[in-house]
Amino acid sequence: MAKKRIAILTGGGDAPGLNAVIHAFVRACLNTMDYELIGYKFGYRGLYNNDYMKLDRQTTSGILHKGGTILFNSNKDNLFNFTVEENGVNVKKDVSDVAVENMKKEGVEVLVVLGGDGTLTSARDFARKGVKVIGVPKTIDNDLASTEVTFGFDTAVNIVTENLGRLHTTAESHHRIMIVEAMGRSAGWIALHAGIAGSADVILIPEIEYSIDNIVKKVDERKARGKEFTIIVVTEGAVEKGGSASIGKIVEDSADSIRFGGVAAKIAHQLENHPGVTNEVRYCTLGHIQRGGDTSPADRLLSSRYGVKAAELIKEENFGNMVSLQDGKMNYVSLEDVVGGAKITGETAKGGDKVVDPNGELVQTAKKLGISFGDE
Ligand code: F6P
Residue 340 — pLDDT band, cuts 50, 70, 90?
low
Inform me whether the pLDDT recorded for 350 exceeds 60.
Answer: no
pLDDT value of residue 303: 98
Inform me whether the pLDDT recorded for 130 exceeds 80.
Answer: yes
Judge if the beta carbon of residue 115 lies within 6 A of ligand 1: no
pLDDT value of residue 142: 96
CA distance 147 to 149: 6
Average pLDDT for 227-251:
97
CA distance 118 to 3: 31
What is the per-residue pLDDT across 42-83, written as a single tens digit (0 to 9) for each? Answer: 999 999 999 999 999 999 999 999 999 999 999 889 999 999
CA–centroid distance, 257 to ligand 1, in Å, is: 10
Mean pLDDT across the chain, nearest whole number? 95
Inform me whether the pLDDT recorded for 318 exceeds 50.
Answer: yes
Whose alpha carbon is nearest atom 11 of ligand 1? 259
Residue 183 — pLDDT band, cuts 50, 70, 90?
very high
Judge contact between 118 and 78, C-beta under 8 A: yes
Nearest atom, ligand 1, residue 143 CA: 1
Judge if the beta carbon of residue 13 lies within 6 A of ligand 1: yes
pLDDT value of residue 1: 64
Reply yes or no on whether 141 is catalytic.
Answer: yes
- Amino acid found at 136: V
What is the per-residue pLDDT across 78-87, written as a single tens digit (0 to 9) for each? Answer: 999 999 999 9
Residues 6+ apart with CB under 8 A from 288: none
Nearest atom, ligand 1, residue 236 CA: 8
Side by side, the strands of the sheet bearing 230-235 are 202-204, 230-235, 177-182, 281-285
